[in-house]
A and B are shown apart, each in its own frame.
Chain A
Amino acid sequence: MKVRAIRCLACLACVLASSIVYAQSGSLLRFCLRSEPKTLNPLLVADDASETVRYFTGGVLMRLNRSTQRLEPELATSWKISDGGRTISFKLRQNLYFSDGADFSSADVAYTMKMLMDPSVHSPTGDEFRSGEGKISTRIIGKAQIAITFPAPIVGLDKLFDEVAIMSATSPLKERAVLGPYRVADVKPGSYLLLTRNTNYWKHDAAGRQLPYIDSVRLDIQQNRDMEMFRLIHGEIDFINSLDAEYYDRLRAQAPSMVNDAGTSLDAEQMWFNQVASSPLPAYKKAWFTSVNFRRAVSLSINREDISRVVFRGYARPAVSWISPANKFWFNTNLRPRPFDQKAALRLLEQDGFHLKNGVLYDKAQHAVEFSVLTNSGNKAREEVAIMIQQDLSSIGMRLNVVTLDFPSLIERITRTFNYESCLLGLTNNDLDPNTQMNVWLSSAENHQWNPNQKTPATLWEAEIDNLMRAQASTLDIKKRKQAVDRVQQIVWDQEPFIYLVNKDALSAFSNNLHNVHPVALRPQVYWNVDQLTVGTQLARSR
């Protein structure tokens, strides 16, 4: 009896000591946002900074594991898609509470979906669920069960819920009542945001300890990247989520243990020619840009290996397709990077009547081949890519003029006036499912940059892409979808409406004070497992 009592007391002491240590530890995670969040409302998130806050605070029904690239249950224990992709049913966890103590139930999911799809809210997240005309309907089956039906099938429907932070239908705090690991405690506009742990967060580790391990998170608003790096080196912040190659190299030289290259990211740099029939370009230039031989010759003349090595210091790979190799399932592994072969390029150009004279390339009508490439000013790496392409193309007699413009002027030219010849921009991709790029690949789409808003497809291959993209969007058979998407990648590789240049690596850095960090290529690279991170002396306890 005595021994038992002593054991009980010892256990109680351990538990108390543990909880006291946790309560008093005051562990703090610090990092920088490069701009101020435009909103704290999870429905209105459209910028990176707001997305970061949503990731830390939002509770979602399911979460894409950034490492395995598979969906994992969160607030929903299971889900089922039925009715040909129109309906999704969730079974929810029970006895969960929002950060302010409000109950979580299926009514909150219904409320969130209602707000998300409300046209007056203008939710960018909600736009991804708009599959067709008509309203969505939610059917509350019980406190812990709900079915949501959309007017038309949505491909990859379940993955979209990774971005839907569930809001409380009853809490007076509205969007400030959260189900994620942290809640917003303090906001100093232009200076910082302070998040503190959500004491009602539902997750526990294998030892039964409540997550997250870190008590609070301070997000400093810091635009200056030099200052951000200085603060990391001096231990004032714990990580930098995304680094440029130049900064990565500098940091690696000073503190090699801090940097991490998680491999190829989903981001790509790409170039395209203006193929808009109504653009104010002269007819002979339109003829150049609509010729597949011309586009392929330009592509063959660009030394992607050099761009990767010189501009991105080796932290990039020659790009192949509109889907990055980092997207393990959807990338077409049969495709290979376009080789650097200027002789082959000249042969292709000769087929179209181009010829070299005194080092200058002329077309059939004796027009010297000269065109401009637009890119956004202020992006040093992109400007350098353009200058390297300029030298590469000069080797086959093409004169390329590099024009850097402020972003609004550039967008005006490529989307409204179409007064440009070619453009070099980067594609930032957060979604794995190719269906989210329907607005790029359909010939009728606004973002079909080389020739947007077509009434009927201008070319046979664009018509084929339209059919394939619509086919993959209308079936839930993953094998058929994969076949269609592979074929689209093959057509794009053959026709080169976009000339893909490089896929950049996902570079990040974190201090030795931060533990349980497993950076990945997908955003958010460093803090995707935010509730598992520990700082400083918490290491031993969290393991």
Chain B
Amino acid sequence: MKRVQQVAISFILLVAALSLLPQVFSTMSYAQQFRDIPDAAPSHQHLLGTDDLGRDRLVRLLYGTRVSLLLAPSAALLSTVMAGMIGGAAGFAGHRVEKLVMAIADLFLSMPWLFLLIIVRALLPLNIAPMESAAVTFILLGGLGWAATARVICVDSKSLAGSDFVLLARASGVDGWHLFVSHILPNLRPLLLAQFVILIPVFILAEANLGMLGLGVVEPLPSWGGLLREIENIPSLSMRPWQFVPFALLVAVVSSFHLAVKRQESTI
């Protein structure tokens, strides 16, 4: 394991540990409103200041990190596994299966998901707990996000299926399932890892936008997506640069995932 990879993994673990222990920094609740000091600058009491409603930004960032760091990679993992299985199998199984699966993927990509999500919101009860809403959101994102990745995987899988080592394995009498699991999937791993890393920030931002449909992480529970919505207002940020901290943390965490995975790829 290279040093850069070690640093990246250590950083992710550190952020995860901090998000699990917010009480080390503060005993405040993420929902507690200090209404006398809304939108306050950083101070001893509130290290990252307060938001528009007087809630401690640091505490909200830590709890938001917990939610997003747990759920966004989980959704990305779900999506990547689905894409790996579907796309990988389509590329490997032959022309007809590939055509059928890609047609389904195209259908998935072209469907108006906005309307489906509105229907999902209509089916959900209004009195849903914030954490349940967050879980439903990320399961939906994970379940719907496989199609584009599957197309990429399919191309690579098809190329692998025609490679010399697969021909050799076939000639040696290795059966299809064993060939797919033992030879194709391991070779798709770098691509799958790259797709996994790409999907994490995509899902974090998608969660923020789903708030418009009454899905996503609902108030008062914070999430990175919700916190990032604050930086839509760029002019005000020049006066309050500490509001960039959630964005900086997101960039740092996603970069760390990328570095960790990249280094792992190079070792494969």
Interface size class of chain A, counting residues whose CB lies under 8 Å from the partner chain = 20 to 34
A387 lies within 8 A of chain B by Cβ: yes
* A388, CB-defined interface residue at 8 Å: yes
* A378–B208 alpha-carbon span in the complex (Å): 12
* Cβ B127 vs Cβ A406 within 8 A: no
Most chain B beta-carbon neighbours within 10 Å: one of A406, A419, A421: A406
Interface pair B118/A401, CB less than 8 Å apart? no
- Inter-chain contact B118/A409, CB cutoff 8 Å: yes
Instruction: Decide: A226 near B121, CB < 8 A? Known: A310-B52, A401-B128.
Output: no
**Interface residue stretch chosen among B69-77, B94-102, B167-175, B209-217:** B209-217
Evaluate contact between B126 and A384: CB separation under 8 angstroms.
Answer: no
Q: How far is the CA of A399 from the CA of B235 in the complex (A)?
A: 36
CB distance from B64 to the nearest CB of A (A): 15
Task: Flag if B219 contacts A420 (CB, 8 Å).
Answer: no
**Which residues of the partner chain B approach A405 to less than 8 Å between Cβ atoms?**
121, 213-214
Is the CB–CB distance between A390 and B218 below 8 Å? no
**A306-B235 contact in complex given A378-B212, A387-B53, C-beta closer than 8 Å:** no
Q: Which residues of B contact A350 (CB under 8 A)?
A: none
Structural contact, B35 and A372, CB atoms closer than 8 A: no
Given A306-B35, A372-B127, A377-B212 contact (CB < 8 Å): yes
Interface of B is mostly: loop
Known contacts A391-B33, A405-B121, A406-B118: does B53 contact A377 (CB below 8 Å)? no
Q: Which residues 78-129 of B sit at the A interface, judged by CB distance below 8 A?
A: 118, 121-122, 126-129
Residues in B with CB closer than 8 Å to A384 are 52-53
A401 to B211, CA, bound (A): 14
| Residue B23, interface by CB 8 Å | no
Q: Contact at B236–A401, with CB atoms within 8 Å? A: no
Q: Which of A226, A388, A421 contacts B33 (CB 8 A)?
A: A388
Q: How far is the CB of B17 from chain A (nearest CB, A)?
A: 29
A169 to B211, CA, bound (A): 51
Q: How far is the CA of A310 from the CA of B38 in the complex (A)?
A: 7
* Docked-complex contact A377 and B211, CB < 8 angstroms: yes
A370 touches B (CB below 8 Å): yes
Asked if A387 and B220 make an inter-chain contact with CB atoms under 8 angstroms apart, the answer reads: yes
Q: CA–CA, A10 to B262, complex, Å?
A: 87
In the complex formed, the residue of B with least CB distance to A371 is: B127
Instruction: Specify which of B32, B54, B214, B234 is in contact with A310 (CB 8 Å cutoff).
Output: B54
Across-interface contacts of B32 in A (CB, < 8 A): 391
Whether the pair B212, A406 counts as a contact (CB closer than 8 A) is yes
CB distance from B241 to the nearest CB of A (A): 16
For residue A250, CB closer than 8 A to chain B, the reply is yes
Question: Taking the complex as formed, is B31 at the interface, i.e. its CB lies under 8 A from any CB of chain A?
Answer: yes
A residues in contact with B45, CB < 8 Å:
none
Q: How far is the CB of A342 from chain B (nearest CB, A)?
A: 15
Q: How far is the CB of B163 from chain A (nearest CB, A)?
A: 49
**CB pair A401 B235 closer than 8 Å:** no
Q: How far is the CA of A377 from the CA of B226 in the complex (A)?
A: 13
Q: Mark B48-59, 1 if CB is under 8 A from A, else 0.
A: 000011100000
- Option from B38, B214, B235 in Cβ contact (under 8 Å) with A377: B214
Check A377–B213 contact: CB distance below 8 A: yes
Contact of A421 among B126, B211, B236 (CB under 8 A): B126
- The answer to whether A404 touches B33 (Cβ under 8 A) is no
Does B234 contact A226, Cβ atoms closer than 8 Å?
yes
> Distance (Å) between the CB of B205 and the closest chain A CB?
16
User: Can you name the residue of chain A whose Cβ is closest to the Cβ of B38?
Assistant: A310
Residue B233 interfacial (CB < 8 Å): yes
The answer on a CB contact under 8 Å between A403 and B218 is yes
Contacts of A174 in B (CB 8 A): none
Provide the residues of chain A in CB contact with B52, threshold 8 Å.
310-311, 384
A383 contacts B by Cβ under 8 Å: yes
Distance in Å from the Cβ of A352 to the closest Cβ of chain B? 21
Sampled A-B contacts (12; CB under 8 Å): A372-B126, A377-B212, A383-B219, A384-B52, A391-B32, A391-B220, A404-B211, A404-B214, A405-B121, A406-B118, A406-B212, A409-B118
Q: 9 more A-B contacts (CB under 8 A) besides A374-B126, A377-B212, A390-B219?
A: A246-B233, A372-B126, A372-B127, A377-B214, A383-B219, A388-B33, A388-B35, A391-B31, A406-B214
- The 5 closest A-B CB pairs, nearest first, are A372-B126, A377-B212, A405-B214, A402-B219, A310-B38
